[in-house]
Amino acid sequence: MSLRRLAKEQPANFEISKAALKEIDIWVQKYPEGRQKSALIPALWITQKDAGGWLPEAALRALGDLLDMPYIRVYEVATFYTMFNLEPVGTHHVQLCGTTPCWLRGAGDLKKVCEDKIGPKGSTSHDGQLSWIEVECLGACANAPMVQISNADSDHYYEDLTPESFGKLLDDLVAGKKPEQGPKNGRFTSEPEGGANTLISKGLYSKVTKKALPNAVKKARKKPTKKAAAKKPAAKKKAAPKKPTAKKTAAKKKVKS
Ligand code: FES
């Protein structure tokens, strides 16, 4: 594993956006009271997106304050995982898997494409559009060789690549297109080439039901809008007891006497 340090050039300050804070709070709510630091990894990920693809030191400190944890604990996590970028990256950040299955299936050729189009490992292209690093297994070995490309939109896997399809993919991204993610050799997800040949009986999944996860965020009840409140029929008032008529009162008096 390479040595990972914070970037030498840092912005003077950084403020987490309101939208990102809202998103981080969803994760914080998933843990018991006082355990908000457990949300650090998703919080780092959200903040990285918020900061344009990397984590300035000021952002790490802001997270330390937000989650009430020492800055060093935040640094430890951010510098350990290669998914957290400690230096600015290109608009489209390519993470090329170089682990054995991908390597055996041609990751070395994809590496050459990166070197030709972007530059040496860890660099960013002159126009700032592309950057690339080599990473360890991204868990899509069945679709080797593959890359993950992160940008403001999301983080997409592109699989079953060849130098040609990969080169085109990078060109398309630079041209502002949105290439379809997934396998590039025509197969569906990680099914065998030519289509699935097991677990294909009709109705096999018809009884599968979706279950909510135990830690799923509960949806907050919506406050009724003024318009909706106005439409709501008013609750029926209890009818006030009827006042006896003068005729009935006179009749009662007559009975008493
Ligand atoms: S080895 Fe490349 S995804 Fe697993």
At 172, which helix (H) or strand (E)?
helix 163-174
Pocket flag, ligand 1, residue 16 (CB < 6 Å): no
Tell me which residue has tokens 């009818």. 239
Q: Are residues 57 and 113 in the same domain?
A: no
Whole-number Å distance, alpha carbon 171 to ligand 1 midpoint, is: 23
Query: What are the φ and ψ backbone dihedral angles of 12, each rounded to 5 degrees?
Result: -65, -35
Q: Supply the DSSP string of 51-103, one letter for each residue.
A: TTSS--HHHHHHHHHHTT--HHHHHHHHHH-TTS-SS---SEEEEEE-SHHHI
In a domain, 161, yes or no: yes
What CA–CA distance (Å, rounded) separates 137 from 125?
A: 24
Residue 22 confidence class, pLDDT cut points 50, 70, 90: very high
The string over 21-33, giving b where at least 16 C-beta atoms fall within 10 Å of a residue's C-beta and e elsewhere, is bebbeebbeeeee
Q: What are phi and psi of 66, to 5 degrees?
A: -65, -40
Q: Give the CATH number, domain containing residue 156.
A: 3.40.30.10
Question: Does ligand 1 come within 6 angstroms of the Cβ of 99?
Answer: yes
Number of domains in the chain: 2
- Average pLDDT value for residue range 233-256: 55
Ligand 1 nearest-atom number relative to CA 107: 2
Predicted pLDDT of residue 257: 46
Min mean pLDDT across 25-39, 42-56, 195-209 is at 195-209
Domain final residue, candidates 183, 218, 241? 183
- The predicted-structure confidence for 191-216, as pLDDT tens digits, reads as follows 998 888 888 888 888 888 878 887 77
Flag whether 189 is in a domain. no
* Same domain assignment for residues 65 and 125: no
What pLDDT is stored for residue 132 in this prediction?
Answer: 97
Same domain, 98 and 50: no
Q: What is the pLDDT of residue 246?
A: 55
In the predicted structure, residue 225 carries a pLDDT above the cut 80: no
Pocket mutation for ligand 1, best pick of 82, 96, 99 (most atoms within 8 Å of C-beta): 99
Residues 173 and 100 in one domain: yes
Q: Is the pLDDT of residue 177 over 50?
A: yes
Pick the residue with more confidence: 97 or 197? 97
Same domain for 165 and 111: yes
Domain extent at residue 124? 92-183
Query: Does 102 contact ligand 1 (Cβ within 6 A)?
Result: yes
Total H helices, total E strands in the chain:
9, 5
Final residue belonging to a domain, choices 150, 183, 216: 183
Q: Does the pLDDT of residue 224 top 70, yes or no?
A: no
C-beta 101 within 6 A of ligand 1: yes
Residue 95 Cα to ligand 1 middle (Å): 11
Residue that finishes a domain, picked among 152, 183, 214: 183
Question: Which atom of ligand 1 sits closest to the CA of residue 101?
Answer: 1
- What's the 111 CA to ligand 1 centre distance in angstroms? 14
pLDDT greater at residue 227 or residue 52: 52
Quick check: 60 pLDDT over 70? Answer: yes
The pLDDT score that the predictor gives to residue 251 is 56
Please indicate, yes or no, if residue 233 is contained in any of the structural domains.
no
Average pLDDT score over the chain: 89
- pLDDT at residue 237 above 90? no
